[in-house]
Amino acid sequence: MTLKELTAAIVAVAALGYATQAAAQEDCPRGDLDQRYCDRDGDLVADTPTDESKLLDPDTLIFAYTPVEDPAVYKEAWSDFLDHLREATGKEVVFFPVQSNAAQIEAMRSGRLHIAGFNTGSNPLAVNCAGFHPFTIMASEDGGFGYEMEIITYPGSGVESLEDIKGKKMAFTAPTSNSGFKAPSAILKADFGLEAERDFEPVFSGKHDNSILGVANKDYPAAAIANSVMERMILRDVIKADQVVSLYKSQTFPTTGFGVVYNLKPELQQKIHDAFFSFEWEGSSLQKEFEKSNEGQFLEMNYKDFWEVIRKIDAANGVSYACE
């Protein structure tokens, strides 16, 4: 083969490689998903890999519940469900007490978290950056579900209306929280002309219970919280109902979304999926905790439809799902 022929052959092979790569990219639509994922079926969540070498089948499954309250309380609350999950999958299951939404998302993105409940506001980020597949939420026995964002104060705070927040501090939970930051920010700006930094001083408490306790103890004149968390805290006598006053209540939002990481083996994903819907709530540790917020079953859902309102709130706030 002459040098000219060899050069031509190399160019042809390179061209074929580029064409193959381009074809693969064209065949991998992803919308807002991170570059590592594909969404060929248009359901807005990452496709499960078809390459066996990219699938996970861990001996121990790691489960984490959204870090809204005391992790020790929820380790006990989830104990009966995790026993059921062990039986359904034939694998060891460990409860992982995460301390922040960011840590929870990073754990799943890095392959260290397999099953999780992500809070309402962090679901889109978990889906797009960590390959989260949510498929269920908790609901009442009659099928009702969701919670409202409330902006609360304490009696005698001097805050009688949302306009009175101007010039004062207002507590949020975390930037990834829907009720703890995204929804109230959008509502305060659109409906009341109030913006953080310009009209009031925002402070971040880290969790809903911190914000609620902060108001009840008169540390914050106002806070944006999920009322389902506040209701459970009142029922557990963590605070008294008369320690807080509601200034605003939003429309109903979907609550915590539960699901799996996208690259678990399909048969394992199915076993986990089925375990949620075969779990017997009656008399369980899960019922004991979550009946306080009128929840008594797992309801099937999908990210595309149930989280549409949350994505709209994110769009109104200029939120990007860029992954670091």
Is the pLDDT reported for residue 19 higher than 80? no
Instruction: Tell me the percentage of the chain whose pLDDT exceeds 90.
Output: 75
What homologous superfamily does CATH list for 147-253? Answer: Periplasmic binding protein-like II (3.40.190.10)
Query: Between 137 and 322, where is the model more confident?
Result: 137
Position 200 pLDDT exceeds 80: yes
**Structure-token pair, residue 100:** 């922040």
Percent of the chain with pLDDT strictly greater than 70: 91
Which pLDDT value is given to residue 209? 93
Separation between Cα atoms, residue 88 and residue 76, nearest integer Å? 19
Class of 52-144+255-316 per CATH?
Answer: alpha beta
In whole angstroms, how large is the CA radius of gyration of the chain? 23
d(CA 155, CA 207): 22
pLDDT of residue 11: 39
Least reliable range by pLDDT among 47-51, 53-57, 176-180, 296-300: 176-180
Residue 261 has pLDDT above 70, yes or no: yes
Instruction: Give the residue with greater pLDDT, 304 vs 252.
Output: 304
Token code pair at residue 184: 């109230």
Quote the CA–CA distance of 216 and 74 in Å, as a whole number.
22
* 267-293 pLDDT tens trace: 999 999 999 999 999 999 999 999 988
pLDDT at position 241 over 60: yes
3-state SS of 66-89?
Answer: CCCCCHHHHHHHCHHHHHHHHHHH
In whole numbers, what is the pLDDT of the chain averaged over residues?
A: 89
Note the pLDDT of residue 251.
87
pLDDT number for residue 5: 46
Q: Could you say which DSSP state residue 56 is in?
A: B
The distance of Cα 60 from the centroid of its chain, to the nearest Å, equals 22
- Only one residue has tokens 């995790």, namely 82
Question: Can you give the pLDDT at residue 215?
Answer: 98
Whether 52-144+255-316 shares its CATH topology with 147-253 is answered: yes
Give phi and psi for 99, each to the nearest 5: -105, -10
Dump pLDDT digits (tens) for 157-174.
Answer: 999 999 999 999 999 999
Is residue 257 within 8 Å of residue 120, measured between CB atoms?
yes
Q: How sure is the predictor about 68, in pLDDT bands with cuts at 50, 70 and 90? A: low
Q: Which of 106-110, 175-179, 271-275 has the lowest average pLDDT?
A: 175-179
Q: Where are the domains of the chain?
A: 52-144+255-316, 147-253
Task: Please state the rounded mean pLDDT for residues 296-318.
Answer: 91
Q: What is the mean pLDDT of residues 258-265?
A: 98
pLDDT at residue 20 in the model: 33
- State the pLDDT at residue 74: 87
pLDDT tens string 109-136: 999 999 999 998 899 999 999 999 999 9
pLDDT reported for residue 15: 37
pLDDT value for 69: 60
SS (H, E, C) 125-166: HHHHHHCEEEEEEEECCCCCCCEEEEEEECCCCCCCCHHHHC
Q: Residues 210-240: pLDDT tens digits?
A: 999 999 999 999 999 999 899 989 999 999 9
